Structure 1
Amino acid sequence: RALNQIVKVYSSHPDIHLLARESISFAKLNQMFSSKDTVKISLVPDIVMSATAKVLGATECHDTSGILRCLRDDKEAALTTKQYSIVDKALVKTGYDIEKTDTHAGGSQLSAAHCTQLLTDKLNQFRAANLVVTDRLHGMILSLLSGTPCLVLPNSNHKIRQTQADWLQAHPRIIFLELNEIDQISKSIDSLLSLPHGPLDESPVDSNKYNDLKKALRYL
């Protein structure tokens, strides 16, 4: 019923643009609005990947140390207790200090200045790590922005898997492991730890990938 109401309301607009950030949502939107000529649907990357860490206030860290463990513990988590144990044992085996973190700060009605500082601090935290291990979409994106090598694990939905598959398959500092590949985690960790950090002024995806968004904005 909710989807039917969305189709009804959105298609009543004379000129509306819907931007999907990965191909599964793109296909779903095309199916939903297949008979609605006023609804224009495009596929563009997550908007955060158009930024750079430098523009967002991150600073260079010359002494990186440790591994950031940014894993979900909510209903969107996909790892089993046994798989969490495998991940943690592999991280301990590296000999690096392990720090647990999250991309969710909590709170509400935060000031713009406070939000900006939270984002800058988080980017600097990611930049200071030798490696990030995450199953959060924006954990992966923060790693990309900060130039830190990242081991990506799936969560319970398609968001992180499909974002990586659509836009980041060729990215040199990301390895995506499916849950049935978890036994390869030590090899993947070692590979990523051998990589240098990337620059802070580099966007994760080519700006041309946002051309449909730029075109839509020109109508405003």
Structure 2
Amino acid sequence: MTSNRTELYQTFLSALSPLKDIKTCILIDCPNHLNIGDHLIWLGTLLYLQDISKTHITQITTSDDLNPDHLSQTPHQPILFHGGGNLGDLWQHYQQIRETVISQNKHRPIYILPQTIYFRDPQNLDIAKQAFNAHPNLTLFCRDSISYTLAQQHFYNCKLILAPDMALQLLNPTYQLSDLYHPTQSPYPLYLKRRDQEDTQTLSNILTNALSQHCQIEDWTSLNLKSPFLLIRKVLSHAPLPDISRHPIYRKIQHLPTPSQQNLTANLLYLGIQQFSQYPLIITNRLHGHILSLLLQRPNILLPNSYPKNQAFYNTWTHPDPDSHFCETPEQLLQSLNISTPSI
């Protein structure tokens, strides 16, 4: 591991150190979809709680399966919310569940693991502010400096901590990600392009046109599969794929609650690594395309998404990495690739 990555991992461990006091916990918002990025965050969380904080996870629940009666069975146990980029009103379903649980559980400590914060509507920010500030023991880990500043302005009754993404627990060299990495080099870069509301349509259309003859353009391989979503999720959660089943990471998580969820996470890690193994360069507007490239020490170029999440994370944490770069405009990217700019 290079000195930059070693330093980043030490920063990560230092920022997350308040979690070391948690002996048992309930973990909420396990991802039950096929976005590899959220599963990288989830896996990093599971590994951190087991290997670093030595926290016993008594319950794991998705947002859809959350049952208040189950929470009430352990009224004083701390609650940890999965981190990511859904604290705000862009993905409002998750935020509403978060606010409800916080409002109904003022008697116990609650921790929100590293999140990017973004609200389009000030009224929704006010609702979050009321719920968060009414809780007497709420810790909010902010995933970038912009989110941290916003939290200081609005979530004044919370304990606020600036901390990197939980997926960076995978920088721990004992996890041997390289054992899953089998390069089969393509001559072309991969343009890992998201296709949801965080995509920047104008930039994306320009780059798709400009890069179509120079890159392989696709989203996460798990989202490109043609079979129905529920069938793919069922297949991937049924059992670990052969290579991942023999890996130390899988052995660390296979005994946890909801084993089918952990199978899904382990298999998606494997699929993401195999996808990236094919390309000499990763170009992406997905933050965890950038983070997985960092974990695998792959050259990568991060692009903006629809709000400042990507650039804020890069500027806060990963800009020292020599293999990682950020391009804000199509012209910057095409110049770096020595591709002429198309007529617009």
Which TM-score applies when normalising by structure 2? Answer: 0.47
Q: Aligned to 1:86, which of 210, 215, 231?
A: 210
Q: Which runs of 5+ in 2 are unaligned?
A: 1-122, 224-228, 238-259, 339-344
The alpha-carbon deviation at position 53 of structure 1 amounts to 8.3
Q: Distance in 1 between matches of 2:307 and 2:279?
A: 27
1:102 aligns with 2:223: no
Query: Equivalences for 1:105-120 in 2 at 5 Å?
Result: 105=223, 107=230, 110=237, 111=260, 112-120=262-270
Secondary structure of 2:282 counterpart: strand
1:6 aligns with 2:154: no
Give deviations 1:43-64, integer Å, cap 9, x for gaps. 1111112313862755232543
Q: Distance in 2 between matches of 1:80 and 1:99?
A: 11
Bigger drift between 104-113 and 67-76 goes to 104-113
CA contact (8 A) 1:151 1:188 kept: no
1:52 aligns with 2:202: no
Query: Equivalences for 1:36-75 in 2 at 5 Å?
Result: 36=157, 39-52=158-171, 55=175, 57=177, 59-65=180-186, 66-75=188-197
CA contact (8 A) 1:7 1:32 kept: yes
The alpha-carbon deviation at position 18 of structure 1 amounts to 0.4
Which TM-score applies when normalising by structure 1? Answer: 0.70
Q: Distance in 2 between matches of 1:136 and 1:23?
A: 19
Question: 2:285 maps to what in 1?
Answer: 135
Question: 1:189 maps to what in 2?
Answer: 337
Q: Which runs of 5+ in 1 are unaligned?
A: 93-97, 191-220
Q: Using CA pairs under 8 Å that are at least 6 residues apart, name the structure with larger relative contact order, 1 or 2.
A: 1
Q: Distance in 1 between matches of 2:172 and 2:221?
A: 15
Query: Aligned in 2, Cα 1:31/1:3: closer, same or farther, shift over 3 Å?
Result: same
CA contact (8 A) 1:103 1:139 kept: no
Give deviations 1:174-216, integer Å, cap 9, x for gaps. 121112xx224344236xxxxxxxxxxxxxxxxxxxxxxxxxx
CA contact (8 A) 2:198 2:306 kept: yes
The alignment's C-alpha RMSD in Å is 2.6
Bigger drift between 133-142 and 73-82 goes to 73-82
Q: Distance in 1 between matches of 2:222 and 2:150?
A: 27
CA contact (8 A) 1:151 1:189 kept: no
**% identical aligned pairs:** 27
